[in-house]
A and B are shown apart, each in its own frame.
Chain A
Amino acid sequence: MTETVTWTCTGCALLCEDIQVSIGDNRIEQVEHACIKGRARILGCNEKAIPTVNGVNAKIDDAIKDAARILMEAKNPLLYGWSNSTNEAQMAGIELARTLGCVIDSTSSFCQGITINEILNGTIPTCTLDEVREKADVMVFWGADPMSSHPRHMSKYSYFPRGELRQRGYEDDRTAISIDVWQSRTAKICKNGFHRIPPGKDIEFMRGLIDALSGRVPKLSFDYDVKRILELAATLKKAEFGVIFAGLGLVYSIKEDIALLSEFMSALNQFCSFSLIPMAGHFNMRGFNHNLHEKTGHIYRVKFDDGGAISGVKYSVIEQIKSGADAVLVVGSDPIASLPVSISRRLKDIPIILIDPCMNLTSQVADVTIPCSTSGIEVGGTAVRMDGKNMDITSLVQGDNMSDEMIIRRIIEEVE
C-alpha cells in the first residue's frame, strides 16, 4: 500500500518542508516538489558503506571498539565533519570531544563559519527566510549562485514567491542583484542587476559601495563604470527590507577582513533595513555552529582541555591535519574529496575512522569504516536551516544501520 507523507528535505540547508513523498513497502516511489539535489539525497548512494577494520570486512561492534581504541591511543585526535548530521548527533560529537579532551571542527571551518560567527556574536544583523519571502524587496546574491547550490532558494523564498508585503510578485515588487565574477545561473535571472567584478576584488567593491552609500565617488583599481556603483548604492538605499545572501565567493574573498562586512551592513542600515543570510551548504552545517556555540561560546575549531574549551586557527581542520592530529574521526563528510589535494595527501597518512552511510573517497583510505543511517531519510531529529531556524527532520524509511548519534554514543561508552 502506498502512502504519501510530507517530508523535510535534507538535500541542502534550505530544508524544504513541503516535499510530498509516496512510500510503498518501505520503498520510496515518487517525490514531488524536491529539486534534483533533494532527489539525489533520497535516491542515496550507489555504494553503501560496510563495516571495515584495516580495509577488511568486520562486525560493527568490532569496528566501534577499534574506533574507540584508535581515539584513546591518539595523543591529539580530531573529530571532523558534522554538517550532514542531526543536532542530536552533533551534540553527541561535542560530548565525545569533551570526553577525549580533543579538537572538534566542522566543514564550516572553510565554508560559512566566519559569517555565522559574526551572526551568532551579534555583529551582523540577520533575518529568516520566511521574512525574506513576506517582506524582502531588494536581495543581493554576493558571490552566491543559489541556482547551482540551493535550487529552490529563489522560487521558495527570495525572489519569485508572492509574500505578504510583496503581493505583485517578483516583476514589480522585488529587485534581485548579483555581484559575481561571471554571469552565473542566478546572475542570468538578475538580468541588469548583475555586476561583474574581477576575482578577489570583493573587498574593494564593498569599500566602493560604502563610499557610494555616503555620497562619495568610489575609486576602484579595476575598470568599472562608477555610475553603475552609484546606481546600485541608490537601489540598496531605497530598500524597505533588504537582504544580502553571502556566498562562498564573498566569504573566500573577505576572510580576515570580515570586520568590513559588519561595517558594510552598518553603512547600509544607516539608510535602510538590511540583513545577511549565509548560504550554508550542507543541511545542518549551521546546526553544528549553534550547538558548539551553546556549549562552549565558540562556533568551530575548538579544543577541549582541562575542562575548558579554546578556539583558534590552530584548531582548524586544515591546520590540524597539517600539524597536530594523529587520528581523525570523520562523520558524514568526504574530506579526501573536498580538501585541497595537498592536504588530503597528508590526511591519508593519519589513521582515519569514517562514520558515513556511503562509500566515498575517504572510505577508500579509512582504517575503520562504520556505516550509519542517512539523516533525514532513515533517521529523524532536528536541524538548523541556513537562516538559523530550528527544523524537525523526519525519517522516511527503515534503514539497516544505527544512527551516527547512536554510534558516537557507543564510542563514548567505550572510551569512558
Chain B
Amino acid sequence: MTSAMEIYQLLPKTNCKECGESTCMAFDVALLSGTKRFTECPPLMNEDKYSDSKQKLEEILKPLEGAEETGLIIHEELCSGCGNCVVACPVNVANDSHGSGRGLGPTNNKVIFRVVDGKVKAANVKECRRFGKDKILCRACIDPCPTEAIEFV
C-alpha cells in the first residue's frame, strides 16, 4: 500500500503553494484522497531536477487513479474471478442473500462485487461499510482474496 511519507519524499518539499495547498504535506494528503493530481504541482512538472521524482510518483500513483471514493482498488490483472469477495462481502450478502449469500453469482444490481468476464468489478461502492456515517475498517473482501487483488488506499 502506498504511504503518505513515501509520496511526500518525492515532492519538492518547498511549500511553494503554487498548487493551491498551503504545504507540500497538504498536497500529499490531497493526492492520496484523490482530490488533487500530481500534475497540479508546477515545479514537479516543469523543473528538470524533479524528473526522477516525477517518474516515480507516476508509477506509485497509477493504481490510485482507478480508486473509488472509498479508496477501493481492484487490480484486475491479479484477479482470478474466484468470487470469494462476492460471497464474503457483507453488503453483497445483505442485499442478495439468496444469490451471493449462498455462493451464487449476484442475482440483482444492489451488490458491490460481481465477476464479469472473469474479473471482479465493483459497483455501489458507497454502500461499503468503510464509507458513510458508521464506517468501520471492514476487511471482508481483502482477507478472502487469494491473490491480493483488492486493496484500499
Contact = CB atoms under 8 A, between A and B. Distances in A.
B101 A161 contact: yes
A311 to B, nearest CB: 37
B144 interface: yes
Contact of A156 (B103, B116, B147): B103
Interface in A136-159: 147-148, 151-152, 154-157
B45 to A, nearest CB: 39
A31 interface: yes
- B interface, over-half SS: loop
Most A-side CB within 10 Å, residue of B82, B84, B114, B143: B82
A19 interface: yes
Interface stretch (B10-18, B30-38, B86-94): B86-94
A105 B88 CA distance: 41
A33 to B, nearest CB: 3
A151 B114 CA distance: 14
Contact of A36 (B86, B104, B119, B143): B119
A31 B105 contact: no
Most B-side CB within 10 Å, residue of A33, A133, A148, A156: A33
Interface in B16-67: none
Contacts of A156: 83, 87, 103-104
Contacts of B82: 35, 147, 151-152, 154-155
A32 B93 CA distance: 18
B115 to A, nearest CB: 6
B117 A147 contact: no
A147 B105 CA distance: 17
Contacts of A170: 88, 144
Contacts, number: 97
B87 A39 contact: no
A133 B103 CA distance: 8
- A interface, over-half SS: helix
Contacts of B146: 147-148, 185-186, 188-189
B86 to A, nearest CB: 6
Nearest to A33: B105
Interface string A60-78: 0000000000000000000
A20 B81 contact: no
Interface in B114-145: 114-119, 143-144
Given A147-B146, A169-B93, A39 B84 contact: no
Interface in A21-54: 30-40
Given A18-B104, A34-B81, A160-B88, A189 B117 contact: no
B118 A39 contact: yes
Interface residues of A, number: 33
Interface string A309-347: 000000000000000000000000000000000000000
A172 to B, nearest CB: 13
A385 interface: no
Contacts of B119: 36
A19 B106 CA distance: 10
A282 interface: no
A169 B144 CA distance: 13
A154 B147 CA distance: 14
A195 interface: no
A37 B117 CA distance: 10
A155 B118 contact: no
B70 interface: no
Nearest to B85: A155
B110 interface: no
Interface string B71-113: 0000000011111101110000100010001111110000000
A162 interface: yes
A35 to B, nearest CB: 4
A112 to B, nearest CB: 21
Contacts of A147: 80, 82, 146-147
B147 A160 contact: no
Nearest to B140: A171
A173 to B, nearest CB: 13
Given A33-B104, A36-B80, A151-B80, 11 more contacts: A18-B104, A31-B117, A37-B80, A147-B147, A151-B82, A155-B144, A157-B103, A160-B87, A160-B88, A162-B103, A185-B146
Interface pairs A-B: 5 shortest CB-CB: A33-B105, A161-B103, A39-B118, A185-B146, A35-B81
Interface of A: 18-20, 30-40, 133, 147-148, 151-152, 154-157, 160-163, 169-170, 185-186, 188-189
8 contacts: A33-B106, A36-B119, A133-B102, A147-B146, A148-B146, A162-B101, A185-B147, A186-B146
